[in-house]
Amino acid sequence: MTTILVAEDERDIRELIAFTLRLGDFEVEEATNGLEAVEKARKLRPDLIIMDVRMPKMTGYEACQALKETDETRDIPIVFLSAKGQETEIKYGMELGAVDYILKPFEAEQLPKRMTEILETLRHNK
């Protein structure tokens, strides 16, 4: 089963994302901040990470950068999910190595389909 790590500090949003992904037949692990996301990613090696940008202890950008600097986590695709939708923020997230940047508010029921599309595209491009 495909595992997705959801890093989101707002509990309601994190639980909504996890719930909809589980309905889409994904296994979901959760992290409440950027530092926890990095630690869990190193341990679990998820197939994909959905990460908020503004989080305590370590921002999503900082967590992405830390994950991309380590051989064991470099190839894990990261999708930012954020209310920070200015072009400069999206560009910065993509430059750090994210494969997609989804803006809040988002349609929860579309997340499983979008994650499947991203994973399939990445598999075909390998």
The pLDDT of residue 32: 97
Report whether pLDDT(1) > 80: yes
Report whether pLDDT(107) > 90: no
Report whether pLDDT(43) > 90: yes
Question: Which DSSP string corresponds to 52-98?
Answer: -SS-SSS-HHHHHHHHHTSTTTTTS-EEEEES---HHHHHHHHHTT-
Please report which confidence band the pLDDT of residue 75 belongs to, taking 50, 70 and 90 as the band edges: very high
The pLDDT of residue 81: 92
DSSP class of residue 106 equals: -
State the DSSP H helix or E strand holding residue 24, giving kind and residue range, or none if neither. none
Instruction: For residue 122, give the 3-state DSSP assignment.
Output: helix
| Count of the separate structural domains present in the chain | 1
User: Could you list the residue range(s) of the whole structural domain that residue 99 is in?
Assistant: 3-125
Q: How many CB atoms lie within 10 A of CB 97?
A: 16
Q: What's this model's pTM, rounded to 2 decimal places?
A: 0.95
pLDDT digits (tens, 9 = 90+) for 76-102: 999 999 887 789 999 999 999 999 999
* CATH number of the CATH domain containing 89: 3.40.50.2300
